[in-house]
Amino acid sequence: EVQLVESGEGLVQPGGSLRLSCAASGFTFSSYSMHWVRQAPGKGLEHVSAISYNGGSTYYVDSVKGRFTISRDNSKNTLSLQMGSLRPEDMAVYYCAREAGRGSYFGNAFDIWGQGTMVTVSS
Amino acid sequence: DIQMTQSPSTLSASVGDRVTITCRASQSISSWLAWYQQKPGKGPNLLIYKASSLESGVPSRFSGSGSGTEFTLTISSLQPDDFATYYCQHYNSYSLTFGGGTKVEIK
């Protein structure tokens, strides 16, 4: 079964750090670009970060540049998001998502999503 | 950045109704548009890609149309499982933006 499972949920103080992980299974992870999308409580979806299938290209939305780092380990079928200098506005459910189409980067919709992991930023 | 505007934000309908949701782009995006369904506590589920292509496994009562700046998602006969929130998304650029969502509620 094709599946993405996020982990790393936590409560952190403003200014703190947290690392999210996404474990992929059921498909050739190294062939697909991956994305993080977040959803603040009661709000819509926001694209946060992306990494190409081979890790050679990355993208960050302006609001997280310099604070978040996306990475992947294709030998372990794992996607990560290292989050630093967290702000209250970063509080959200974070989803990892697979971009459809082998080798595509920003060219396709997201065909597989995880169940999400909650990040709470509060003092 | 390209802005995506969905309407309505909330829609009340009954089982069996034909439902249409609109998504407008702030500039032409050709057919680079996807539609997703999201239920509470779950990740989104891809319904339509490239404006009108039905994702594998999605019921045929869902259809998409449009190009350029105006797009629609239609549910031909609303089923109990379809009460959810729907999002459009522009892709194929470094500005991957979502619409604000349309919640389909039971009338």
Do residues A56 and A69 lie in contact, with contact meaning Cβ atoms separated by under 8 Å? Answer: no
Alpha-carbon distance values, A116 to A5, A34, B49, B61, B103 (Å) = 8, 14, 22, 28, 20
DSSP secondary structure letter of residue A47:
E
Least Cα separation, residue A85 to chain B (angstroms):
24
Strands A92-99 and A78-83: unpaired
Distance of CA A105 to the CA centre of its chain: 15
What CA–CA distance (Å, rounded) separates A20 from B49? 28
Task: List, for residues A19-64, the tens digit of each pLDDT value.
Answer: 999 999 999 999 999 999 999 999 999 999 999 999 999 999 999 9
Torsion A97-A100-A103-A27 (CA) sign: positive
Tell me which of A35, A46, A51, A110 to substitute to probe the interface with B (most B C-beta atoms closer than 10 Å).
A110
Q: pLDDT of chain B along its 107 residues, tens only?
A: 899 999 999 999 999 999 999 999 999 999 999 999 999 999 999 999 999 999 999 999 999 999 999 999 999 999 999 999 999 999 988 878 999 999 999 88
| Contact at CB, A45 and B98, closer than 8 angstroms | yes
B56 CB burial (10 A radius; 0-12, 13-18, 19+): exposed
Query: Residue A69 is encoded by which pair of tokens?
Result: 């780092």
| Contact at CB, B98 and A97, closer than 8 angstroms | no
Sort out which chain B residues have CB atoms less than 8 A from A114's CB and list them: 43
Give the closest of B43, B49, B89 to A95, CB-based: B43
Give the closest of B41, B46, B97 to A110, CB-based: B46
| Contact at CB, B101 and A45, closer than 8 angstroms | yes
| Contact at CB, B43 and A97, closer than 8 angstroms | yes
Give the per-residue pLDDT at B41: 94
Tell me which residue has tokens 């959200």.
A92
Do residues B106 and B10 lie in contact, with contact meaning Cβ atoms separated by under 8 Å? Answer: no
| Contact at CB, A113 and B89, closer than 8 angstroms | no
Give the per-residue pLDDT at A68: 98
Q: What residue type is A46 in one-letter code?
A: E
Task: List, for residues A63-104, the tens digit of each pLDDT value.
Answer: 999 999 999 999 999 999 999 999 999 999 999 999 999 999
